Copies of this chain bind each other. A is one copy, B any other.
Amino acid sequence: MSQPAGFGVISREQLLSLDGLAFLQGIVTGELPQPPISETLGFRLVEVAAGRAVFEGLPEFRHYNPIGSVHGGFAATLLDSALGCAIFSTLKAGDTWTTLELKVNFVRGMNQDTGVVRAEGRIIHPGRTVATSEGDLRDAKGRLLAHATTTCMVFPAGAAK
């Protein structure tokens, strides 16, 4: 296995040369860097397959909101990652994409005793120009913490934007 690539962003040329699944697998294996937000917030991509992506993160005191629990933005960020990458994992080399909207339901709060949490995204509709996915965030005991759906726009390689 190659030396882990740390945190960073690869060049746009390298990004466009890989299909989504190969790119994301490169992050999981450490051949490609985890993105900067992963270091900043403390979560990482741990599994990916076509139409499915899993991130893990650790809720800490540094994620707290003013009312003494983990900020909802932590769950939203992990779910946005998992749902977006579930779609990204189905795209061909050269395709690009952007998230149009994300809806998150917050079911159970998190604190610094929650332990590692796991966000899984699953594709629902793998459309050519619009795709949707869903997913959930659970603790190590499988308890549901939050769930979400998203809509992404896909720009197929070679299409005018």
Contact = CB atoms under 8 A, between A and B. Distances in A.
Interface in A108-140: 109, 124-125, 127, 129-130, 132, 134, 136
A71 to B, nearest CB: 4
Q: Give the dominant DSSP class at A's interface.
A: mixed
B106 A98 contact: yes
A133 to B, nearest CB: 10
Contacts of A72: 77, 80, 84, 99, 102
A100 B130 contact: yes
Copies of this chain assembled into the complex:
4
B151 A151 contact: yes
A104 B102 contact: yes
Contact of A68 (B12, B63, B153): B12
Interface of A: 9-10, 12, 15, 23-24, 27, 32, 34-37, 39-41, 61-68, 71-74, 76-78, 80-81, 84, 88, 96-107, 109, 124-125, 127, 129-130, 132, 134, 136, 144, 147, 149, 151, 153, 159-160
A81 B130 CA distance: 21
Given A71-B80, A76-B73, A132-B107, A36 B23 contact: no
Contact of A64 (B37, B77, B103): B37
Contacts of A10: 66
A40 B160 CA distance: 38
A101 B101 contact: yes
Nearest to A84: B72
